[in-house]
Structure 1
Amino acid sequence: MLTVDFSRFPLAPGDRVLDLGCGAGRHAFECYRRGARVVALDRNGEEIREVATWFAAMKEAGEAPAGATATAMEGDALALPFPDESFDVVIISEVMEHIPDDKGVLAEMVRVLKPGGRIAITVPRYGPEKICWALSDAYHEVEGGHIRIYKADELLAKIRGAGLEPYGTHHAHALHSPYWWLKCAFGVDNDKALPVRAYHKLLVWDIMKKPLATRVTERALNPVVGKSFVAYATKPHLPRLSPEVAVK
């Protein structure tokens, strides 16, 4: 289940991609399949080992084209272990709402992104997320949980403040908002409640089968109750100083 829309965020074979806070690796795997040179980074060592296992399995199965590479590594989003301007593309999906110093994370992403490079940022959408917080303290008052809810304008202002130029936004995963509302209403750790189990089966069926009816329904509902807000931006090329200016 991808949150980034690669029709709006195209990759070229050979692009060097950082999936920051990769989690289980869903976006990293897609970039690998598209021929990118991928680095999947997360602070969770257990998830990184699982992602590395899947990268190896994909290579063995021939799922990635020639020239594509994939590396999984532990790391800190506030101190990325890469030189300046290392990546053509950076993806950070459903991560920034967890990190107190979100401006610091943005600064690190901008540092490692090449001029002209592209960045995709996804966070929980304000309205659906507010409902989750209202229904359940346990949803967000946990170690490593969500510490803020972004309004779209607030996130875009932070993106611009970091020196990036936003070029597009959209919402995603409308069918997942009611699932999380049910989870919050019945208990975030209570997977046995009948409405939660029934809706989960619907989501699994939708992800596996991708029926036209639910795809059309979700596209229609995304602008209204999409669970995620997605923003795309570029890092501008800085103008070159003339020799006369440079020596002053």
Structure 2
Amino acid sequence: MQTINFQRLELKDGERFLDVGCGEGRHTIGAYLHANVEAIGVDLSEKDLDIARERVEQFIDKDNSEKSIRFQQANALELPFEDNSFDKVICSEVLEHIPDFQGVLKELQRVVKEDGVIGISVPRAWPEDICWRLSDEYHKTPGGHIRIFNATHLRREVEDLGWQRYYRHWAHALHVPYWWLKCKYWGQEDDQVWALRNYHKFLVWDLMQQPLLTRVLDKMLNPLMGKSIVMYFKKNPTTEQGK
């Protein structure tokens, strides 16, 4: 399940792609499959990286030397890459976990090329607020969400660094009820609660089958209750000119 749209990111053959906070590798693998790119995923969790390395094995195209993929451990506040070294950089569902999210934004800015693109997604404020109200444990669990982002505020934080948002969309509306149920019954396994068990089955079915009906329904509901807000940024030319 991908949150970043690679077409909106304008990901093309021959580019270098960095996924900051890649987790188990969904976007890094997605980028590798989308185009002939050098895809790199970084995360603090070695456990998640091991899962990502295991998952990608089935997708490796050994006959195509024009693309590559790798995963490595790194701190988002101290990325082990040179300045201006990536064409596209994404940070999806990560900033809500990190106290110094401004520091992460500066690192994204440092490693992306001057003509590159940054893609960022965070949980949408009002569905996330309901999750917090339903369960204290949801946001107090170590490594969990420590803030609810105001999308306008986050946009301004990025634009203050000299970038300009060129596109925005929402994602995963159909997942919102699941997380509300998850928070309401926090601490219980999905199979212990009828509603959780069956809604989870529905989401798995939807992911595997991708029927037209649910794709249309998700697209219609996303502007209203999409779980994530996704924003794409390019360098603001007026900033470079000192305007």
Q: TM-score range by the shorter chain?
A: over 0.9
The residue type paired with residue 49 of structure 2 is I
* 1:77-110 Cα deviation digits (max 9, x unpaired): 0001011001000011000000000100000000
TM score, norm. by length of structure 2: 0.94
Q: Percent identity?
A: 44
Q: C-alpha distance in 2, partners of 1:128/1:64?
A: 44
2:54 aligned partner: 53
The structure having more radius of gyration, on CA atoms, is 1
| Alpha-carbon displacement from aligned partner over 1:119-151 (angstroms, at most 9, x marks no partner) | 110000001000000000111101111010011
Within the alignment, does 1:134 sit opposite 2:147 as a pair? no
Residue in 2 that maps onto 1:165: 164
Q: Distance in 1 between matches of 2:158 and 2:62?
A: 34
AA matched with 2:178: Y
- Partners of 1:58 and 1:64 within 8 A in 2: no
Task: Report the counterpart of residue 94 of structure 2 in structure 1.
Answer: 95
| Number of the residue aligned with 1:43 | 44
Q: How do 1:111-190 and structure 2 match up within 5 A?
A: 111-190=110-189
Are the equivalent residues in 1 in contact too, given 2:9–2:88 (CA < 8 A)?
no
Counting matched residue pairs gives: 239
Deviates more, 1:32-41 or 1:47-56: 47-56
Query: How far apart, CA to CA, are the structure 1 residues paired with 2:236 and 2:89?
Result: 14
Deviation at 1:240, TM superposition (A): 8.4
Displacement of 1:164 after TM fit?
1.5
* Pair 64,227 (structure 1): closer, same or farther in 2 beyond 3 Å: farther
Alignment CA distance shift 1:95-1:127 (3 Å): same
Equivalence map 1:12-91=2 (5 Å): 12-33=12-33, 34-59=35-60, 62=61, 65-91=64-90
- 1:217 is matched with 217
Q: Relative to structure 1, is the Cα distance of residues 40 and 201 closer, same or farther in structure 2, using a 3 angstrom cutoff?
A: same
Gap regions ≥5 residues in structure 1: 242-248
Q: Is the 8 A contact 1:117 1:234 kept in 2?
A: yes
TM-score by length of 1: 0.92
- Superposition map of 1:191-230 within 5 A: 191=190, 192-230=192-230
Q: Name the aligned partner's letter for residue 116 of structure 1.
A: D
The 1:178/1:55 distance shift into structure 2, 3 A limit, reads same
Provide structure 2 residue ranges, at least 5 long, that are not aligned to the other structure.
none
Match of 2:8 in 1: 8
CA distance in 2, matches of 1:25, 1:214: 25
Contact 1:24 1:47 survives alignment (8 Å): yes
